Structure 1
């Protein structure tokens, strides 16, 4: 798909000597971590009770990857394909439990660019992704942006390792932080101005956390289609534009993802 010279700039090893701002190393499980296939293939298993993988010293359960789909194989129970991002290939499995799962995969053909959000696992010694979201990439800036996010993730954690940061669980800064479930104020009305500069312990502004809490309610987690931005606007009593700003931030942080279209969103599960 890509030549090695085209993608040398995107492999984590090329940036090990860069000097970004220091970041604290975290062994705490992150949200949705941007990764290349090379990063995934080099991940080691943590060996603890969570059976997560370690990428750049960070416990990782769920990843987001971008590449081209190949060798699509549809079966009644699942749809499998290979994801190639130029750094390697990995098998992806989308289990078919609802009609919406089949509809999502109908648009995916061999040779199309896709974004896969999924749970990283190992089967018979080979790593694979159990996908909970697969969607077409329609803006190719997304491919470049994804690789930049992978570079950023690698740099902020490898820099902390090189500085001898302690491996005790702590936040690696606000990026890719883990959602916190069960807040009781998820549906309380809030004015736009109430949350302008308030941050809580996990680095989220209060309004962003309010949106996340609503998406993390069990009834919303169980909704296959996700929650529409209009519903969030009505329930939280703020303009749709404010909701979209919060969603955009949470999506960058790897805490939520779009489901059937750009108006329906779900919180990341399995943390």
Structure 2
């Protein structure tokens, strides 16, 4: 569970005995009442990988901070790009479109299954729960639990969760009209570099798509139907076949640029 300014998101699906190492799905720790430093840093925070990479020490030798707030327990979603199996751990290279980070799952030799799930195929979307760590200046996530994404809508939900928390900490509570913590008033750095707040993840992800997908995306951006665009309407408007449209839509779905609405062949553009 994560809690920021009244926002609470629970039940990300991390169930069962693979979330050891002191990780809990509870809210903010109670250590702050005892005068220690464990105030909000053990709350579970949804993040993008770019945020992890750009995190900095809250003070010399202190915990890493994002948006000026110390953070250790994080959850992220991305695609597995590489798997390295070693004696003591399995390292997954995870890419969410904003950056790439190593996720290490330590092997428990006392468990019959080794304590590490190595069944993920390359390019599988996974959700990671873990602890943000820096070693020799390089950040990685020590995973408590990793599971495959079964519903792609969860990718979109996660981005919304991460955006909400980021905006709350940098801009203040909804309706406050003021800045929060250490955010850049000139733009948003969650997804891409640059100071223009109008930038989003869409352009960089669209560059990874095939020409037909770019064509479909451009057509959908100009459509005004709140329920999304159907495959037949897109085919008629672009001169493509329905099969080509569906293949292009799969490409766009894989990059998190569109989402299904009324049915599996009706889509709308995801506004970041």
TM norm structure 2? 0.48
Q: Which has more helix, going by share of residues?
A: 1
